[in-house]
Homo-oligomer: A and B are copies of this chain.
């Protein structure tokens, strides 16, 4: 019997197979969303049975431990905590808790499952506990805008993408005034703990808040969770940030489709810009998944001090070589933050900001004489549209807006110009170059989380609950052994101060969790570097296709994580 092609109206029929515990509050979801809601989540064994925490040795800092110790006098040196099986367990501590949770910064698939895991912990263990969701990010804490999260409230968001359960925001709790507002909220709600789901900045601020509250002898503890599709918040004990796996797979689906199109059509170069301003992990992972002809990694550009001309010439060299082989098409991946990695561009921007702040830009171009020779050359190297964009589009402070430059379109123009130049010089006589530009960004932030991100987030949230119940503060929820089956994953907490270094700003030391950049000596980049010349001229495109939730291909893990864990060669 072959599958009948069913109508959209059949949601009930689909659901009938797995009886829902609670009906979705709204029928407004797709069959797949409905199916995912009821999908049971695998779960680390250590969290299923009675457990206790075992502390490791005292920790230090990622850099400048003396300064970090001064900034975090009560928290510095905290050990990591590891969950282990136990007879006399935490589970028997049945004091009811009041916990707050907040989503901070950009969306990442899986955030709802962190909250689900935290909620389920509070249901399973200190039964009758209360969970408050602060609305719209850290501003919700400062304004004490919250909603009580009940089973009915949370249910429709299980395994769903987005942050729309309580929404997020980019405000920061940084100043003393803001800490006091947070303190007020904690007191008003009588909070035993707060879970901050966020990236490097949000976790730094979570730790500062933990320090503040402890220094005030308040009972409210603060635990972080590693969130960012960019993949740049990770360390040995936190092998990856959630959302990276899903986002890279969504982008790779699109890239794979475009690759098959490029090969079928045979006449376009597709320039694909990918989200990720600070680090190029997404671009690198997508390259490992799809084998594009050219991939630009920002960190390599920075380390090798490449110029925009170098990058352009590298692309044109590959295009020329491919044309000799009869291929007048290809796929090129570019990280969103490419321009920020190029030292000469930074220099030009700084000079432009200075000039534009004090002088008029005359039509005759006399103003350009104020640029250094190098910056002047670079400015003239830009296509006219980019020149205009640099001069005209400025932010409220009058600064040039680099972020607004569509790098993929800029590179297409530069490649066109360079190819034309070579053609005139007789150095290129290949096929016509036709560029197509793409930006894959928002599509990847709110997709349905993969099986991996769903399970990982649930474990992160559940662990965060255990950390808070055991009185921990200033830790980040840490789930490890991720290449193994979910049962065998480890759970614990890592001292946030151990991830920190300081930066000097306005004459003061400020703590920062250093962003994890692409390491040129790391396994993912090394694998890419080993193959990229082959991928440039041969067409070894791979189309990963859409993320699957059931079936034999539903549990494939991203390359970056597997390579970093040593689980893939």
Q: Which of A23-31, A71-79, A182-190 contacts B (4 or more CB under 8 A)?
A: A23-31
Partner of A31 from B167, B438, B443, B552 at Cβ < 8 Å: B552
A427-479 contacts to B, CB under 8 A, are 436, 438, 442-448, 451-452, 455
The answer to whether B556 touches A8 (Cβ under 8 A) is: yes
Residue from B30, B542, B549, B551 in contact with A256 in the complex, judged by beta carbons closer than 8 Å:
B30
A264 touches B544 (CB 8 A): no
Of the stretches A141-149, A192-200, A303-311, A482-490, the one at the interface is A482-490
A424 at the interface (CB under 8 A from B): no
Look across to chain B and name the residue whose beta carbon is closest to the beta carbon of A485.
B4
Cβ-defined partner of A265 (8 Å) among B107, B250, B486: B107
Q: With CB as the reference atom, state the residue of chain B lying closest to A9.
A: B568
> Is A84 at the interface (CB under 8 A from chain B)?
no
A540 and B5 within 8 A (CB): no
**A52–chain B nearest beta-carbon distance, Å:** 23
Question: Which of B30, B438, B487, B553 touches A545 (beta carbons < 8 Å)?
Answer: B30
Instruction: Point out the residues of chain B lying under 8 angstroms from A250, CB to CB.
Output: 257, 546
B107/A261 in contact, CB under 8 A? yes
Q: Which residue of B lies closest to A288 (CB)?
A: B8
Q: Are B8 and A551 in contact (CB under 8 A)?
A: no
A422 to B406 alpha-carbon distance, docked (Å): 30
Taking a contact as CB atoms under 8 Å apart, the answer to whether B553 and A254 are in contact is: no
Of chain B, the residue at the smallest CB distance from A555 is B3
Contact A2 B42 (CB under 8 A): yes
Note all chain B residues with C-beta closer than 8 A to A31: 544, 552-553, 556
Q: How far is the CB of A105 from chain B (nearest CB, A)?
A: 11
Q: Is A6 in the interface zone, CB < 8 Å from B? A: yes
The distance from the CB of A358 to the nearest CB of chain B, in whole angstroms, is 28
- Check if A158 is an interface residue, CB within 8 A of chain B: no
A265 surroundings in chain B (CB, below 8 A): 107, 167-168
Known: A2-B42, A162-B260. 9 other contacts (CB 8 A): A3-B555, A5-B452, A6-B556, A7-B562, A8-B562, A33-B545, A161-B257, A270-B442, A548-B550
Q: How far does the Cβ of A385 sit from chain B's closest Cβ, in whole Å?
A: 10
- Say yes or no: is A564 at the interface (Cβ < 8 Å to chain B): no
Interface membership of A14, Cβ < 8 A: yes
A261 to chain B, nearest CB (A): 4
Q: Which range holds the interface residue count of chain A?
A: 35 or more
The reply on A403 being an interface residue by CB < 8 A is no
With A7-B568, A553-B14, A557-B5 in contact, do A544 and B446 touch (Cβ < 8 Å)?
no
- The 8 Å CB contact of A164, one of B136, B263, B486, B550, is B263
Given contacts A14-B553, A29-B543, contact A482 B264 (CB under 8 A): no
Report the 10 A-B pairs with minimum CB-CB distance, sorted nearest first: A2-B42, A546-B546, A162-B260, A260-B446, A2-B486, A550-B551, A32-B545, A5-B557, A3-B555, A261-B446
**A253 contacts the other chain (Cβ, under 8 Å)?**
yes
Q: Pull 11 A–B residue pairs with CB atoms less than 8 Å apart, ordered by A.
A: A1-B487, A3-B555, A4-B485, A7-B562, A30-B544, A30-B553, A31-B544, A35-B553, A161-B260, A163-B264, A546-B548
Q: Which of A43, A167, A553, A555 has the most CB of B within 10 A?
A: A553
With a CB–CB cut-off of 8 A, which chain B residues contact A132?
none
B257 touches A444 (CB 8 A): yes
Name the residue of chain B whose CB is nearest to the CB of A250. B257
The yes or no answer to A569 lying at the interface (CB within 8 A) is yes
A residues 38-86 with Cβ under 8 Å of B?
A: 42-43
Across the interface, name the chain B residue whose C-beta is closest to A16: B552
Q: Shortest beta-carbon distance, A558 to chain B, in Å?
A: 9
In the complex, whether A547 has a CB less than 8 A from a CB of chain B is: yes
Distance to closest chain B CB from A195 (angstroms): 18
Q: Which residues in window 250-301 of A have CB below 8 A to B?
A: 250, 253-254, 256-258, 260-261, 263-266, 270, 289, 291
Q: How far is the CB of A405 from chain B (nearest CB, A)?
A: 15
Interface string of A496-519 (1 = CB under 8 A from B): 000000000000000000000000
> CA separation between A541 and B8, bound complex, in Å?
15
Contact B446 A3 (CB under 8 A): no
Contact of B291 with A28 in the complex, beta carbons under 8 Å: yes
A445–B261 contact, CB under 8 A?
yes
Bound together, the chains give a CA A352 to CA B469 distance in angstroms of 72
Q: Does A322 contact B (CB under 8 A)?
A: no
Q: Does A554 contact B (CB under 8 A)?
A: yes
- Residues in B with CB closer than 8 Å to A33 are 542-545
Closest to A28 in B: B540
Bound Cα distance A265, B162 (Å): 9
Q: Which of A32, A168, A447, A487 has the most CB of B within 10 A?
A: A32
Candidates B36, B162, B568; contact of A263 at CB < 8 Å? B162
The answer for the CA separation of A256 and B256 in the assembled complex, in Å, is 20
